[in-house]
Structure 1
């Protein structure tokens, strides 16, 4: 019996008259165009694609709580346990567990969380771009060779980018593009109004676009499908997963749905591909509901502090070290974890972009265990610099700290020493430089940036000094 099935059995013991279904877990993120007068709020959807056909939409918050780390289960086969029906007739999600057997996995970096394993993304991850046009829109904004060139191995192209950001743990070898293919319906068939808002039928777009390309494309050998559409969708570009049968292969495909504003720039396209790999958004610590205000991570703000390319538009910056680690890209020798009360330690923290580093590149500050294993908080520390094809427009060279956990989201929030925190985390408060230190909002951790080195910074975990400023992240004088 598979481990996931054993865990599910234990969880179901306390669920009377519940229901269990199995299928593929589809997670999808909708990201609005940045130039809109009033930027639309991000969207997030979760559903289980049933083995016998059909789908059950899941309440996102219930799904997060039921899974603990929902994002670790993206595009995987899962079992979902529903509790007894409530008065309104809708059953609440009680538990979600994996019932597949990943070939590779990396345990959560927090101790005591062996209930789930994030599925590592390693080796060849071949993508296919399929360009499709609505039957009532004739314009084809880019030639197919443009999309094919996006996968190239030169600096500023996606093949090069994903090799660099993964420390060469993944590649896009064999990725290609095809199109343009005519969809059988006009845009109005796929984009309708729901509660006064445009809503794109992503499943119909996927089905019709891949069907139109099927004669030319062998989908069985690809991991992901980038769909390019020649008109706006519902104000969003989308990334995540779609479970379907293509060319005899039934599985969950990493998928993106891109309007022209998205495919004209590599940054939003890489952002949506990140969702296809199962990565959530990142954020900053200003407390608002805008997740697009952390320019240290393409999974948050792909536009600010971005390098501009004459061919491929805004280029993607790197992703934070937590997300790199979730996908299995950070070697164990490059990580150091510290529990509360650990002895004062001085160490070299190398820049995160160094592929040949032999020093620490990721520091984890671990909060104490809590009765609820998913409600705790931990911090991930990394060093970033203005260098290379993707990072040369960053706000500065500095130590960057992300808070993770609490609320079942596993989304990283960059920390800010300014009070109040800046709206966008490209300010001095988000950058910790030599002579400055940070104390965690709960007062459990202190990190002092002692000096700059040729490869990063010397930092001291446990160093204390005179504290100035308000609550939360603070700077030592």
Structure 2
């Protein structure tokens, strides 16, 4: 339910579980009945509500009654698993009831409960198809049908987020609700007040009357459970569990739910999944703070973790691994129970959409000395778990006999079992303070790796050529009983301890052996007292004498000898061993069992245990370093003399005019680092270098670079130089000492001597357009006739001279552009593309007409300025014809012609 901090109602030591309203003592009448007992959970809708647990007994005479069981009785019977759906014998006092339904017997206040036969069915295995009969029942005084049956058909279907789909995913397709059918609405024989007294519904009467109303039309034989849905409130709670009823003429125990009207509203998907979970035998889980509905990690706690807008209702997530295990949905091979003494590293796979592999889906860590245990599971954001607080490893402490067995381990203790304190991520360590530890490693594609330590581990081992027994004193459990012969242990030599006990070990030699003392976590010859607050290692040394054996490695490297105290003798004597290296070798150290003992070639010690010492020698290698003409070579790291295999670094430094040409052993880099495997004479080689210098001229007209081969390098190398002109300039060629070398902007050559190259650039020519308007022409750089233009390519900075030549009857009015004024000749210096125009004007219309007539009569196709002018004013057909003349005359005032002046 929604993160609500609710607690179970306790009245003294009694857990009150009355089913029928208006109950009380029925005199002092006693009764003893036998039948099947089942639990019903009431889950409130309101914040701050309190969950309620009831018990119903279907007795052997076909009657059904409520049973009141104290908390102490429930605990003695083993909790829910000890009583739920189990055959029992109950004796106690009968309680009166204001109204009993047909076949309902008075409630009984149990004074004793005796389980009969096998354990109960709480969490009984659930596999295959589990179809439910959904019965829609309305009170006789409430005719409303809040939802049509089709809504419940959809609710039970195999599509998200409906019940068949939900349980297929949560069970990893091991259980489904296929075959579920919806029936009703049926009318109950009584009004709501006959079934519900305040906040106390009569579950027996409700269930039996609803089933009886449906019985004539419903064949119950195909169904595994019954869901009853009512059109009114049932005292504020929805209920789930089991109850014995008679349908189709047969009495049997049915998984059963009682759903109030509010279960069809905002809470629909979540509360249905929750109560069906109770009908399958699941209890609640929670955080550790006394609130039942505060854990978003379990639909059996908070079943409202995501809002599904299309259905306008809340959806729950998966149930926890402990519950899945109760229902058989975690195969035996995918549940690992970690017991001492070994530390186990496991790859824990998430429970949502598990692969068909073998990685565990649940790890169970027993708490020694109790029936309790920790569970470890991996949760990921997928499917119905997509809205969990986070993807993480989640731990619960499980007390099997408790009403709420599984409670979240929340490290920060802040009252919120959903925050970071309950999400165990890589590097985080759970330590219960008594020896059990769980550390999260790396995240995998499907979960996480974890390392589980079932307790503080004590490891006992032995050395020496003797024999003995190491044992723990007192009644500490588990006990150590480790037999050691010639350093090999047998028996109980490793134990994991919980609760940080003090463990005392004794060492007893056998035969002619002597106990020579402890090493590791203990020293000396007496008992070894160990506070087992952490992992500890202890070695017991048993010997028949204290021999000292020596050897040398490698054999060619030198000799090892016992030079004082003797190789054999009593324990406690002083012994000296001496290592002598052969030529070309150096002494390194003494070792025993691969562990360094001394750096002195002469090593003196007290032989309190047998010793096997090895003198370690290392071949010596010398580096002789030299350099050829043109530079020097130096040793910058390592030593010239020392152990073969050591790392050395040499540096070559060329003199001016030279470059490094490589090492005599083929090395080509400097500095040069390598492992010296043998004596080596190494020389640095140098070669004369040739430089290539480049520049651009004039300045700022382009760039010149050495684009390949380097400006400095070995003579004879291939070099490429590249020239790039600045905008407005063109590359002219490469030159050296004023002599052209190449016309190519990219110039490659062999650098056999020092070179100094210049990339030459010049300005690009610009287009100068010379135009004429009127009759006449412009001559000089190019010729432009009347009304036309010509273009010349000019070098910026060089001057041009042009002259305006008017036709007869015309004169130069002005220059436009780079030239100004009305002088016939203009000289200018272009710096960019430009246009210069000679503007002519008519000065003598009659004279022009005479000239034009001559042209017209003499050569109509003449290209004279006069004809060109007339054609531009006329029909523009490229000829000097009558049409052109007439068009021009239309534009000239008669007075101008008669007066012979400018029109």
TM score, norm. by length of structure 2: 0.43
Match of 1:301 in 2: 302
Do structure 1's residue 348 and structure 2's residue 367 form an aligned pair? no
TM-aligned CA deviation for residue 251 of structure 1: 0.9
Q: Report if aligned partners of 1:226, 1:256 keep a CA contact under 8 Å in 2.
A: yes
3-state SS of the aligned residue for 1:432?
coil
User: Contact 1:72/1:119 (CA < 8 Å) preserved in 2?
Assistant: no
Q: 1:331 to 1:420 in 2, by over 3 A?
A: same
Higher helix share: 1
Q: Is the 1:267–1:314 Cα contact (8 Å) retained in structure 2?
A: yes
Matched residue, 1:49: 58
* 1:430 corresponds to: 422
- Please give the residue correspondences for 1:4-403 in structure 2 after superposition, counting only pairs within 5 Å: 21-33=33-45, 36=46, 38-52=47-61, 53-71=63-81, 73-76=83-86, 78-80=87-89, 82=91, 91-98=110-117, 119-193=124-198, 198-264=199-265, 265-286=268-289, 288=290, 290-303=291-304, 305-311=305-311, 313-339=313-339, 341-358=340-357, 359-370=359-370, 376-388=371-383, 390-403=384-397
- Report the 3-state secondary structure (helix = DSSP H, G, I; strand = E; otherwise coil) of the residue aligned with 2:425: coil
Q: Distance in 2 between matches of 1:428 and 1:464?
A: 25
Which SS does the other structure have where 2:338 is aligned?
strand
**Aligned pair in 2 of structure 1 residues 220, 63: CA closer, same or farther (>3 Å)?**
farther
For residues 280 and 73 of structure 1, what CA distance do their matches in structure 2 show?
13
Which secondary structure does the structure 2 equivalent of 1:174 belong to? coil
Do structure 1's residue 456 and structure 2's residue 447 form an aligned pair? yes
Kindly provide the CA deviation profile for residues 359-403 of structure 1, in whole angstroms up to 9, marking residues without a partner as x.
111000001234xxxxx3211110001111x11111110000011
What are structure 2's unaligned runs of at least 5 residues? 1-29, 95-107, 457-903
How far apart in 2 are the matches of 1:438 and 1:226?
42
Question: Structure 1 84/338 Cα, relative in aligned 2: closer, same or farther at 3 Å?
Answer: farther
C-alpha deviation, 1:263, in angstroms: 3.0
Q: Relative to structure 1, is the Cα distance of residues 408 and 311 closer, same or farther in structure 2, using a 3 angstrom cutoff?
A: closer
Determine the C-alpha separation between the residues in 2 that align with 1:90 and 1:172.
37
Cα drift, residue 202 of structure 1: 1.0
Instruction: Give the whole-Å Cα distance in 2 for the aligned partners of 1:419 and 1:322.
Output: 22
**C-alpha separation between the residues in 2 aligned to 1:94 and 1:131?**
36
In the other structure, the counterpart of 2:636 is none
SS of the residue corresponding to residue 71 of structure 2 reads helix
TM value normalised by structure 1: 0.80
SS in 1 for 2:311: coil
- Which structure carries more strand by proportion? 2
Task: Output one character per residue of 1:173-204: Cα deviation in whole Å (capped at 9) or x when no partner.
Answer: 210101111111211111114xxxx2111111
Shift of 1:312: 6.3
Kept in 2: contact 1:307–1:392 (CA 8 A): no
| Paired position in structure 2 for 1:417 | 411
Equivalents in 1 of 2:195, 2:247: separation in Å? 21
User: Tell me, what secondary structure is at the counterpart of 1:212?
Assistant: helix
Distance 1:223 1:162 in 2: 15
Deviations 1:236-276 (A, max 9, x none): 00111110111122111111111122133111111001110
Q: Is the 8 A contact 1:28 1:46 kept in 2?
A: yes
**How far apart in 2 are the matches of 1:67 and 1:463?**
29
Shift of 1:73: 4.9
Deviations 1:276-331 (A, max 9, x none): 01111111112x2x20001100000011x325242262122111111111111110
**Residues 92 and 165 of structure 1: is their aligned pair in 2 closer, same or farther, counting only changes over 3 Å?**
same
In our comparison, the structure showing a higher alpha carbon Rg is 2
Check conservation: 1:307, 1:393, Cα contact below 8 A. Answer: no
Are 1:190 and 1:200, in contact at CA under 8 Å, matched by a contact in 2? Answer: yes
CA gap 1:171/1:91 in 2 versus in 1, 3 angstroms? closer
Distance 2:197 2:319 in 1: 34
Aligned partners of 1:58 and 1:93 also within 8 Å: no
User: Could you tell me how far apart the structure 2 residues matched to 1:276 and 1:406 are?
Assistant: 18
SS, match of residue 44 in structure 1: strand
Deviation for aligned residue 1:157: 1.5
Q: Could you list the runs of 5+ residues in structure 1 that have no partner in the other structure?
A: 1-17, 106-116, 371-375, 466-477
Q: Does 1:405 align with 2:411?
A: no
Instruction: Quote how far apart the aligned CAs of 1:70 are.
Output: 2.3
2:391 and 2:455 mapped to 1: Cα distance?
Answer: 23
Q: Is the 8 A contact 1:75 1:243 kept in 2?
A: no
Return closer, same or farther for 1:316/1:273 CA change in 2, 3 Å cut-off: same
- Report the alpha carbon displacement of residue 347 of structure 1 after superposing the two structures with TM: 1.1
Contact between 1:21 and 1:81, CA under 8 Å: does it hold in 2? yes
Following the alignment from structure 2 to structure 1, what is the Cα–Cα distance between the partners of residues 64 and 158? 39
Q: 1:56 to 1:379 in 2, by over 3 A?
A: same
Q: Which residue does the alignment assign to 1:468? A: none
Answer yes or no: is the 8 Å Cα contact 2:342–2:454 preserved in 1: no
Aligned equivalents of 1:204, 1:84: Cα separation in 2: 21
In structure 1, what is the Cα distance between the partners aligned to 2:454 and 2:126? 36
Kept in 2: contact 1:30–1:237 (CA 8 A): yes
**SS of alignment partner, residue 159 of structure 1:** helix
